Homo-oligomer: A and B are copies of this chain.
Amino acid sequence: MSIVVPTTKEERIALIRENLAEELNFDIIEKIIDAGGSPKIYWGTATTGRPHCAYFVPAIKIAQLLAAGCEVTILLADIHAFLDNLKAPIEMVDHRATFYRYTITAVLEAVGVKTDKLKFVLGSSYQKSAEYVMDVYRLASVVSENDARRASAEIVKQSNNPPLSGLLYPVLQILDEEYLKVDAQFGGMDQRKLFIAAKEWLPKIGYKERAHIMNPIVPGLQGAKMSSSDPDSKIDILESAEAITKKIRKAEAIPKVVEGNGVLAFTEFVLLPAAGLRGKKEFIVERRDEEPLVYTSIEQMHSDYANDILTPQILKPAVSKALIELTAPIRAAYEASKDWQDITLKAYPPPEKKVKKVKDKGSRHPGKPGGKPEDKKPEVAAEGAAATTKEVEEATSQVANVSL
């Protein structure tokens, strides 16, 4: 697969900027490009639940950054993942970090981007070092509780009685910029408050401020009705072709409504730019008894969708087909890698057989010594239900916690 590599400064900058919602201190990146250099950019993700299709949104931007000659560091925030669920043993978190590395690499290779300027760093490789920790202490001394609360407002789960760690996370994430020695951090618009804090905080302890680039918040592929407890509501990166077709068929896509339309948004932020990276920015929608619709920009698609020329009925099969094509090399890489398969089992062990509670009919006194208050009866796991409810919840919390 060939990839279109931008050659001029203007092309490189345009590719870095494509589809961004906002930039802060972009001149830092521009200056490096002007000098013919490679801006160092980092993106972080907590290695919790299995990556699903929403991960394609940052992944495409990362692919564009790599294609534009940036050095990209992906922080696998294993300590954060461990803290997010202290019940998960640390070994499982390690396996999940490895699983993330396999998956993200395969995703980037699937869009044909070279990964020689991509590196993965485990948070645990430096977030426990003496230097880092002193900086955590120092930053916590010059930053107020209020500042920390503001910076973390959109990236940690909000509650009436939040854990203290929620105030520590922004301190860590901001220090990561210094410790990963990057010029910029990339994240979703949900990171905006934290990125603004980063600009203010790092100079307080003598470090330089970085550039920040932000993706828009993109509606989920399956629409707003997506339920965190319904395993059907997410498309796993390794989902089978049949499951992709079935899940996209069930996705919410209100006719003529462009706003909040996850299927259109996925086309805009994943399928079209992925096609662009692979050499031809084009999205084809087959029609019965008519010529196919061929789109080269999202504006045409939005217009046709609003006018019901592009209907959900013809859009969905086109999206399924494109997503199946996009993920085919990922599935192939998975099938070919015994290591990746082994890690998957350790990272996300199959759910324990569920037990069905049988009501005590009163034949035994409850709690009677020797009595068995519950008959255990194995229940066949639903087809395709690879994740336990807990895991799906984790994956959801991760979306909330992670820069997409």
Contact = CB atoms under 8 A, between A and B. Distances in A.
Given A79-B134, A134-B79, A138-B83, A145 B164 contact: yes
Interface string A139-154: 1111111111000000
Interface residues of A, number: 32
Contact of A128 (B134, B139, B148, B161): B134
B142 A162 contact: no
Stoichiometry, copies per complex = 2
A317 interface: no
Interface stretch (A49-57, A165-173, A356-364): A165-173
Contacts of A79: 134, 137
Given A79-B134, A133-B128, A142 B167 contact: no
A161 B138 contact: no
Contacts of A382: none
Contacts of A148: 164
Interface in A155-186: 161-168, 171
B137 A168 contact: yes
A127 B143 CA distance: 20
Contacts of A143: 163-164
A130 interface: yes
A86 interface: yes
A79 B130 CA distance: 12
Contacts of A146: 161
A79 B133 CA distance: 11
Interface string A69-91: 00000000001000110100000
Contact of A137 (B130, B162, B165): B165
Contact of A83 (B84, B127, B137): B137
Contacts of A168: 137, 140, 164, 168
A79 B144 CA distance: 18
B165 A141 contact: yes
B161 A144 contact: yes
B162 A144 contact: yes
A139 B79 CA distance: 13
A163 B137 contact: no
A164 B138 CA distance: 10
13 contacts: A79-B137, A83-B138, A83-B140, A127-B133, A133-B133, A140-B164, A140-B165, A141-B165, A144-B162, A145-B166, A145-B167, A146-B161, A164-B171
